[in-house]
Structure 1
């Protein structure tokens, strides 16, 4: 399974935020630290806010903070949120399925089960488990 860069970058941002849970992080600072596009990180941060993972504040002293302690944020839930709309294979999509064996395929159910198990396995870990070391936060 391959995660999108959207999810990869989102997890990186959350790992940094988990290293200092009470601190507000701006997307500009995170973009500079990771060498990524600020616009792209802003879209990711908006998705994380819509999903209840972070809270955002505008203006001076603003930024994003974790809405819950890192030990309460499950990785599978984050990946599920950030990968929303991304299907593992074409036939899982709501439209555009051009598969000619869809009605008799025995692979589809196995792939669904594997995807479910992948996310459940990630849910065994929390953001606290993968937080960047505090010394790297400077």
Structure 2
């Protein structure tokens, strides 16, 4: 079984945003990190936004970030939402429940084996969340060219610090 590029890119976008954390990212950032076309990513991000998995912020300083609930999504849930066909062979039901007839269907054991394999594949994907596959974030961030977000620490202006009493 092979996943479509659309599903691959969807997983990569979610992984990138999970590693990135709180800050906003742009489609350009993700495109450069993975070497993927911005046009393809725009379609993917639009769908991920429609699903509520990615939050988008419009404007000059806008971008996108992972919706909080997305961290607990399983890889299987994402694959099911982005793939359009899990019929490994023509006699298995497609997305619409349709299947092509086959002359050996009444005695075929292969169909059941392939159906079981598909279920096992998706069951394994259901065991892993985006949060889990995005760690450890440091090494992944380095590979993706993501610099760590340094939290701002308030600095006391000079002269406002307490003076020790002798």
- Pairwise TM-score range, normalised by the shorter structure: 0.7 to 0.9
- Contact in 2 for aligned 1:54/1:64 (Cα 8 Å): yes
Larger Rg: 2
Q: Distance in 2 between matches of 1:110 and 1:55?
A: 40
2:121 aligned to which of 118, 122, 125: 118
Per the alignment, residue 85 of structure 2 pairs with: 86
- The answer for unaligned runs of 5 or more in structure 1 is none
1:108–1:30 distance in 2 versus 1, CA, 3 Å? same
TM-score by length of 1: 0.81
Q: Distance in 2 between matches of 1:102 and 1:25?
A: 53
- Contact in 2 for aligned 1:21/1:70 (Cα 8 Å): no
Residue 71 of structure 1, CA deviation? 4.2
SS of structure 2 residue aligned to 1:64: strand
Supply the RMSD in Å over aligned alpha carbons.
2.4
Q: Does 1:56 align with 2:59?
A: no
TM-score by length of 2: 0.69
- Contact in 1 for aligned 2:53/2:70 (Cα 8 Å): no
Per the alignment, residue 158 of structure 2 pairs with: none
Q: Distance in 2 between matches of 1:25 and 1:55?
A: 11
1:20-35 pair list within 5 angstroms: 20-35=20-35
- The answer for unaligned runs of 5 or more in structure 2 is 148-166
Q: Distance in 2 between matches of 1:76 and 1:131?
A: 15
Higher relative CO (CA 8 A, sep ≥ 6), structure 1 or 2? 1
Q: How many residues align?
A: 137
